[in-house]
Amino acid sequence: MGKISQFVKAGALLLTMAGCSSPNSGGKDAEIDRFISDLMGRMTLHEKLGQLNLPAGNDLVSGAVKNSKMAEAIRAGEVGGFFNVKGVNKIYQMQRMAVEETRLGIPLIVGADVIHGYETIFPIPLALSCSWDTAAVTRMARISATEASADGISWTFSPMVDICRDARWGRIAEGSGEDPYLGALMAGAYVRGYQGDGMKQNNEIMACVKHFALYGASESGRDYNSVDMSRNLMYNVYLAPYKGAVEAGVGSVMSSFNTINGVPATAGKWLLTDLLRNEWGFTGFVVTDYNSIGEMKTHGVADLKEASARALNAGTDMDMVAHGFLHTLEASLKEKAVTQERIDEACRRVLEAKYKLGLFENPYKYCDTLRGRKELFTEANRKAAREIAAETFVLLKNEGKLLPLQKKGRIALIGPMADAQNNMCGTWNMDCQTDRHVTMYEAFRRAVGDKATVSYAKGSNVYYSEHIEKGAVEPRPLTRGDDRQLRAEALRVAASADVIVAALGESAEMSGESSSRTDIQIPDAQKDLLKALVATGKPVILALFTGRPLDLCWESEHVPAILNVWFAGSEAGDAIADVMFGDMSPSGKLTTSFPRAVGQLPLYYNHLNTGRPDTDDTTFNRYGSNYIDQSNEPLYPFGYGLSYTTFRYGNLQLSAERMAKGGQLKVTVPVTNSGECDGVEIVQLYLHDVYAEISRPVKELKAFRRVALKKGETQNVEFVLDEDDLKYYNSRLEYGYEPGEFEVMVGPDSRNVQHATFVAE
Ligand code: NOJ
């Protein structure tokens, strides 16, 4: 078999894959077609354009519906849907206007950023990915959909699946980290959770995968910045999670703010039509991001009118906020800059989405005003959030088994995050009521009861500079205090303690949209506090709050125990207490590399080898690909995370030295829980193609298992590889593999692996 014959042209292969199982693909239901054709036959051009218009509900957050601008627009048939209005009563009123006070009574689709929970808030998506638990992600999405739909929402702007290799970018918090394989699995897990059984039930809502595409590669980690990327890198890495969502049947796609090789994604025909529709077989609708069509002017590409025409022609179906489709497409049609067919196609897709949601059958499907009381922020949902949160924590260091904490003696809980109720959730929590959220201080006191004392001090501001702090915490401000007094109080509390738990890091709004940073250390005031606490000589445990990887070089040397708790949601406090007091052993593993310095960024485990790889991590090699002043290695690599127990890996075994064409290869490794308590280990398998037509990554995650092991238990962990695991996109974007030598690696993280080789025929 010749090498090249193993390859299939990208488009051909993807079409086959998309055609088989996706609810998104395959022949359109004749009944939907008939219904929509009939409806569209009765619609005016203006009504059709109204369906393509998605305004924000900002003026309705506190205002009344009746005489609002939105109400006027709805009555005029100029609104296809709206988003980010909270409260089923308001939503019901607007739906009624659309249904009863417009000529054709077309129902509205109601969107919202339900990103990691609705009223019950789960950990931020980056944290969720560190559970490596796709079932947990589906469970969280199911609960989020149930709560959101009970409050009137039929469409969520999630999952966000942008791969990110640069911790400066604040929106790394919203995605699943740096890996395409895990990212694609997580994307599917979200979609299945939100959409459930094909959006038939009133607690199943439409998902919207975003931000299509490559938004996570924003240059220099600065939000909204440009992206320049080879097709090869796109196909092999960045596109995989979006494709995962499409294959899982996602109903809608949101395009991204960024340009791609100079073209705004909003007007990218190759992206939105050639790739998404023709190669991947996506049949849902495409919505822009917030005012993206309007922003084509500041991109220096086109004014609103031309931008609207270009966006439509590229494959955009719905215009979020810019009002460009509504106000300019009629003129563009007259001038033949757009076609009636393309307007009809976009309108049809939006109507199809409403049909799939069952809104034509029952426009009030999501407006059951009694459901909310029973289904929001329930005990069961909060319990799920607490359990899932505990799975996402990553134990970075635990010298002298300082953790778990004993429920005895005097525990000092110090830091601005220890009792900050409005800072437990992190970015995106749609007007949830933070005064119901559990802080560490509250949870710790509850956990220890009268067995121990817990004393608290805030210890420091987030930053020394009031000005920087303002940007970092808005819109969830923390009360500021006098730096010196805060420190003195912290040291007083620390002085009478047996152990200090420092709750520090980022405030909730330091990651997420528009929260880029050039310095990714713990902010100055908190870092100095931590140094002062360590200087007391007492044992210090760092509970690290963060939405991104931080540079923890100092902490990793001087603080004996570090538990990364991210932003864990409404039940964060209890979940942290569960893990810190040992009711659960931590099992999370990083899905994003933690750098040693901001200068290493972008940093990722699946990099190329270069012609001059770094051979010795500790010394500078002149004319090698390395830095004079810093190692190439991350501080904590992708896949890393400790447990309260230990796991011993036995010898890696392959079932054969060769994998026949069309055959399989079994990879086995015995893993033993060799420590003192039960635990969960995430066993990871990586592959490396030794010689290929183009340089291939030093390793790529191809499989993993979450294995629960009782103390003393051994399990033979087995992986079965086949030729699909060997495939990649070559320089001609053909998908396949080349026969030859492959290296297989298995281990507890991407750095610490055993190696074996086999030959693929
Ligand atoms: C802008 C953000 O980029 C996007 O993620 C979000 O869904 C929309 N705004 C709507 O709020």
pLDDT in tens, 187-215: 999 999 999 999 999 999 999 999 999 99
- Segment among 57-71, 400-414, 632-646, 704-718 with least mean pLDDT: 57-71
The encoded tokens of residue 52 equal: 């393509």
How many whole angstroms from 289 Cα to the centroid of ligand 1?
Answer: 6
Residues flanking ligand 1, CB < 6 Å: 84, 113, 157, 210, 289-290, 513
pLDDT at 7: 72
Average pLDDT over residues 379-402: 98
Average pLDDT over residues 532-536: 98
* Residue 78 confidence (pLDDT) above 70: yes
Q: Whose CA is nearest to atom 11 of ligand 1?
A: 113
Among the listed residues 248, 171, 179, the one whose alpha carbon sits nearest the alpha carbon of residue 207:
248
* Residue 24 confidence (pLDDT) above 80: no
When pLDDT is cut at 50, 70 and 90, the band that residue 11 belongs to is low
CA distance 414 to 528: 13
Among the listed residues 508, 25, 494, the one whose alpha carbon sits nearest the alpha carbon of residue 278:
25
The residue whose CB lies within 8 Å of the most ligand 1 atoms, and thus the one to mutate among 153, 157, 292, 429, is 157
**Is 1:259 a contact under the CB 8 Å cutoff?**
no
**Is 235:398 a contact under the CB 8 Å cutoff?**
no
* Residue 157 confidence (pLDDT) above 60: yes
**Is 549:593 a contact under the CB 8 Å cutoff?**
yes
CA distance 426 to 434: 11
Angle CA 611–612–618, to nearest 5: 155
Average pLDDT over residues 120-137: 98
pLDDT at 6: 60
**Is 82:57 a contact under the CB 8 Å cutoff?**
yes
* Residue 386 confidence (pLDDT) above 80: yes
pLDDT at 22: 37
- Name the CATH superfamily, with its identifier, for domain 647-760: Immunoglobulins (2.60.40.10)
Average pLDDT, the chain: 95
Percent of the chain clearing pLDDT 90 (strictly above): 91
The residue whose CB lies within 8 Å of the most ligand 1 atoms, and thus the one to mutate among 174, 513, 516, is 513
How many whole angstroms from 488 Cα to the centroid of ligand 1?
Answer: 42
How many whole angstroms from 407 Cα to the centroid of ligand 1?
Answer: 43
Q: What is the pTM of this model?
A: 0.96
540: part of which helix (H) or strand (E)? strand 540-545
Please give the number of the atom of ligand 1 that sits closest to the Cα of 160.
5
Q: 221 burial class (0-12, 13-18, 19+ CB within 10 angstroms)?
A: buried
The residue written with tokens 């026949």 in the block is 660
Catalytic residues: 289
Average pLDDT over residues 332-336: 98
pLDDT single digits (tens) 650-689: 999 999 999 999 999 999 999 999 999 999 999 999 999 9
How many whole angstroms from 216 Cα to the centroid of ligand 1?
Answer: 14
Please give the number of the atom of ligand 1 that sits closest to the Cα of 157.
7
CA distance 152 to 149: 5
When pLDDT is cut at 50, 70 and 90, the band that residue 432 belongs to is confident
Q: Whose CA is nearest to atom 10 of ligand 1?
A: 290
Among the listed residues 506, 553, 565, 558, the one whose alpha carbon sits nearest the alpha carbon of residue 533:
558
Angle CA 299–314–85, to nearest 5: 75
How many whole angstroms from 222 Cα to the centroid of ligand 1?
Answer: 16
Helix (H, G, I), strand (E, B) or coil at 654: strand
pLDDT single digits (tens) 593-646: 999 999 999 999 999 999 999 988 889 999 999 999 999 999 999 999 999 999
CA distance 576 to 93: 41
643 bridge partner residues: none
The encoded tokens of residue 379 equal: 């005990």
Structural domain boundaries of the chain?
1-41, 395-600, 647-760
Please give the number of the atom of ligand 1 that sits closest to the Cα of 257.
3
Q: Is the dihedral of CA 647, 653, 658, 664 positive or negative?
A: negative
When pLDDT is cut at 50, 70 and 90, the band that residue 1 belongs to is very low
Q: 399 burial class (0-12, 13-18, 19+ CB within 10 angstroms)?
A: exposed
CATH no. of 395-600: 3.40.50.1700
Q: 518 burial class (0-12, 13-18, 19+ CB within 10 angstroms)?
A: exposed
How many whole angstroms from 121 Cα to the centroid of ligand 1?
Answer: 18
**Is 736:720 a contact under the CB 8 Å cutoff?**
no
pLDDT single digits (tens) 461-491: 999 999 999 988 888 888 999 999 999 999 9
* Residue 435 confidence (pLDDT) above 50: yes
For 667-679, give the DSSP string.
EEEEEEE-SSS-E
Average pLDDT over residues 262-291: 98
The residue whose CB lies within 8 Å of the most ligand 1 atoms, and thus the one to mutate among 113, 225, 252, is 113
CA distance 581 to 217: 39
Q: Whose CA is nearest to atom 1 of ligand 1?
A: 290
Distances (CA, A) of 670 to 181, 650, 667, 706, 715: 24, 5, 10, 14, 6
